[in-house]
Each structure stands twice: as C-alpha cells, then as structure tokens.
Amino acid sequence: MAFRLLYQIGLWSISDAPTLPNCPKAKRTRKMKRCMFVDDSSVIRKVAKRILGGSDMIVIEAASGLDALEMCGADMPDIIVVDGALPDVAAVDLIRRVRAMESPIKPQILISLVELDIASIMRAKRAGAQGYLLKPFNRPQLLERFRTLKIAA
C-alpha cells in the first residue's frame, strides 16, 4: 500500500523496485504492461484491478481526468481505459491531451461506456482511441476486449 501511495505522488516508480530492499515488487520489470483505469467509480476501478492485476500487468487507478493527465505526464502507461462520462474532463479531451503528450510510449486507449453509443465511440476514435469497452463488465468480457487489441494474452 505504501508503494502505491509513493507511486501516486511521484516518489516511486517500477524502475526503482530493484533498489528497494525486501520489496515484493522487485521482480517486476519494465516488460510488464501498465494499465490505467480512469473512472470516478471506485467499484469499476477495483473490479478491473482484480481482474487484470497479476504477474504480467500492473493496474493503476485514476479517479478523475485531471489525476490521469498528471499521472500520464509523470509515467505514461501502456494502456488507458477512460470512462466516457468523467465529471471533470470530457473523455475525448482527455484522449486528445494524452495523445499530445511527448512520450516514448504511445498507449492503446479504450473508452468505457454504459451503453453502446456509436457517436461517442466514433468521437473517441477520431481523438485517438482504439476501441471501446461496455460496462459493467465481467472477467471474460474484459479479458476478451484486451485480447482483441493484442494487449494481453
């Protein structure tokens, strides 16, 4: 829990793990995928973290669009799932701002929607998203969506 807090405030990154004594995360390498879930619902973030978190993926959480932008600026994740109805930043604006950031990592981005809305999906794709995810989701749905994007095995 302490590492998560240090990571969120920018004082720790995965690359620091090998230098920390008795760190359970010390075996993690940069080859692990990093997925950020941006959603104002803590339930959605926790379910996603429980499903995807494991030996090959690190799931980080952002409760708002502004938090996500700050975290992306510090350390860009490989994958970003953006809630289509964030209260502080429009999803399309968040996607555009992430795409405009200078980073060696160009993340795959999904927009997360509560209903199939073709217009929202197309706006997100024009902004730089690769696809969409309907919520609520379960384990098979989430894993299948990631497989179709060739994000996770």
The residue among 2 and 48 whose pLDDT is bigger is: 48
68 membership: H or E segment, kind and range: helix 65-74
Cα distances from 102 to residues 25, 29, 107, in angstroms, run: 27, 22, 12
**What mean pLDDT comes out for the span 6-29?**
45
**What mean pLDDT comes out for the span 126-132?**
95
Cα distances from 109 to residues 4, 12, 29, in angstroms, run: 22, 24, 22
Answer for the pair 62, 87: CB distance below 8 angstroms, yes or no. no
149 exposure class (CB count in 10 Å sphere: 0-12, 13-18, 19+) = middle
C-alpha span between 58 and 79 (Å, rounded) = 10
Write down the pLDDT at residue 56. 83
Q: Is the pLDDT of residue 9 over 80?
A: no
List the domain boundaries for the chain: 32-148
Write out pLDDT tens, residues 44-100: 999 999 999 887 889 999 999 999 999 999 999 999 999 999 999 999 999 999 999
Answer for the pair 80, 98: CB distance below 8 angstroms, yes or no. yes
Tell me yes or no: is domain 32-148 CATH 3.40.50.2300. yes
Mean pLDDT, all residues of the chain? 83
pTM over 0.85: no
CB atoms within 10 A of CB 55: 8
